[in-house]
Structure 1
Amino acid sequence: MSRSRSVGLSQRDDRVTELMDAADADPAMLAKTYERFRLVNAVVSGERAVYRRWLRPRLSPVHRTRVLDIGSGSADLPRRLLRWATRDGLRLEITAIDPDMRAMEWASARPPTPGLELRRAMSGDLVAAGERFEVVLSNHVLHHLDGHELGALLRDTEALLAPGGLAVHGDIERSRLGYAGFWLGTLPFAGNLLAGSYIRPDGLTSIRRSHTAAELARVLPDGWAVRRAIPSRLEVVRRADA
């Protein structure tokens, strides 16, 4: 359950929690949330821009590119990326991981997507297995993490990148404009499209938990950079040495 609003948007409020993360979250509402993610993320996650700017230039019609999606949730992002790559005649293989059994069970029950492998795992599990990827991605994961967890994710990402690889962790940028935009933009759908899901309350909580570019820049290790993207998004980027 989200705690009372004791911190304004001028500061990151990492004390509030998303309803869907609760162990006793309603299964029907969770399923509705996972199903609706594909619609909401198509608007707010900049997936097309991620594909065009970061992924497509690294793809080939001959050589397979191996990608890791961390904290994949309903796996709507990797499914879209694979569909666009197939349309463009490019070879792509995505491993999508998430530690939440509920998310992986829901994603695994969807029709299979060629090139997509789903695993219930943490990034550290793949590091321990010695796996490497040309591209490591995540979407809306960073705001879930505390400082220790963020550092661990970035270290794991570095270990998982193949020589010359690329990492892009995309997330929300906290701002009053972004909060107001999400509140107003989702209001007309609260009683229909988003009804029975956690998307609207958890989306607002996510914004309150998210970082600003300056906050992330202060804590990122050497070799990492943060850039702004649209709409109200941040991308934490690292390019591995060849």
Structure 2
Amino acid sequence: MDDPAIDPAEHRHALEGLRRLNRASDSAGVLWPAIAELSARLGRPVKVLDVATGSGDVPRGLLRRAERAGVGLEMAGCDISPTALDEAARQAPGVRFFQHDALHARLPTGFDVVTCSLFLHHLSGDEAIALLANMENAAEHLVLVNDLARSRFNYCGVWLACHLLTRSRVVRFDGPASVRSAFTPAEALALARRAGLSGATVRGRFPARFLLSWSRR
């Protein structure tokens, strides 16, 4: 899906498959506890930016959790792909979406939390450092990165999930390939430190994930 020449219909099919995988692995649920805790501490609606948002399923999932918990949440999402943003606007009408290249342009400031799910593994080490530093600059309080963790066990699990939950040939290729190119939790922590996220933590999350968290002191 990183190929800018990908057919839009194929891209939408792949985004649909990724939405199904994100629901099965509860991507929004990985991020939600830290956001809910911050909301309780601030005592006001939390402003969240989701970077590389794809079709907006993670922001939509976070909004649903916030509504159930009675928590105020102002969600925004950005992505470089117009096709993804069109899908996101259709899937999550309560979210403000905008086009942005987070690797080469500074993210807008004014957000309490900046999140990113399942994008880091597409990047080289230097690109990952640049992204994390960009997210840190934009976040008033928290940076949260939910991503795949590289291991043989996770490769097998993701291969199986991609073949059971979607028929998209793009997702069936990208899923296992993404695990192969992903960072280990230790590597992700080292990248965060090089990006200036002092005090960041990385913890494993089921299935096949880690959550990188950084809080501004």
Q: TM-score, normalised by structure 1?
A: 0.79
Partner of 2:29 in structure 1? 48
* 1:105 is aligned to 2:86: yes
Contact residue 45 and residue 139 of structure 1 kept, 8 A: no
Unpaired runs of at least 5, structure 1: 1-19
Q: Does residue 122 in structure 1 map to residue 101 in structure 2?
A: yes
Larger radius of gyration: 1
Report the secondary structure of 2:144's partner residue: strand
Q: Which amino acid aligns with 1:210?
A: A
Correspondences of 1:88-99 after superposition (within 5 Å): 88-99=69-80
> AA paired with 1:223?
G
1:45 deviates by 4.8
* Alignment match, 1:184: 160
Greater relative CO (CA pairs within 8 A, separation 6+): 1
**Which residue in the other structure is 1:198 paired with?**
170
Question: 1:110 and 1:50, CA in 2 relative to 1: closer, same or farther beyond 3 A?
Answer: closer
Question: For the structure 1 residues 197 and 91, does the alpha-carbon distance in structure 2 shift closer, same or farther, using more than 3 Å as the test?
Answer: farther
Secondary structure (helix, strand or coil) at the match of 2:167 reads coil
Deviation at 1:205, TM superposition (A): 1.1
Please list, as runs of the form range in 1=range in 2, the aligned pairs for 1:1-242 lying within 5 A after superposition.
20-51=1-32, 53-59=33-39, 63-110=44-91, 112-113=93-94, 116-123=95-102, 125-127=105-107, 129=108, 131-162=109-140, 165-189=141-165, 194-221=166-193, 222-241=198-217
Q: Output the CA distance in 2 between the equivalents of 1:65 and 1:111.
A: 18
State the alpha-carbon separation in 1 of the partners of residues 172 and 26 from structure 2.
15
- Percent identity of the aligned residues? 30
- Deviation of the 1:198 alpha carbon: 1.8
1:220 alignment partner, SS class: helix
Q: Which runs of 5+ in 2 are unaligned?
A: none
Query: For residues 211 and 88 of structure 1, do their structure 2 counterparts lie closer, same or farther at Cα, with a shift above 3 Å needed?
Result: same
Q: TM-score, normalised by structure 2?
A: 0.88
Following the alignment from structure 1 to structure 2, what is the Cα–Cα distance between the partners of residues 108 and 199? 21
Name the structure where helix makes up a greater proportion of residues. Answer: 2
Q: Distance in 2 between matches of 1:197 and 1:107?
A: 21
Structure 1 contact 32–197 (Cα < 8 Å) conserved:
no
Does structure 1 retain, via aligned residues, the 8 Å contact 2:47–2:111? yes
Q: Hey, what's the Cα distance between the residues in 1 that align with 2:90 and 2:175?
A: 25
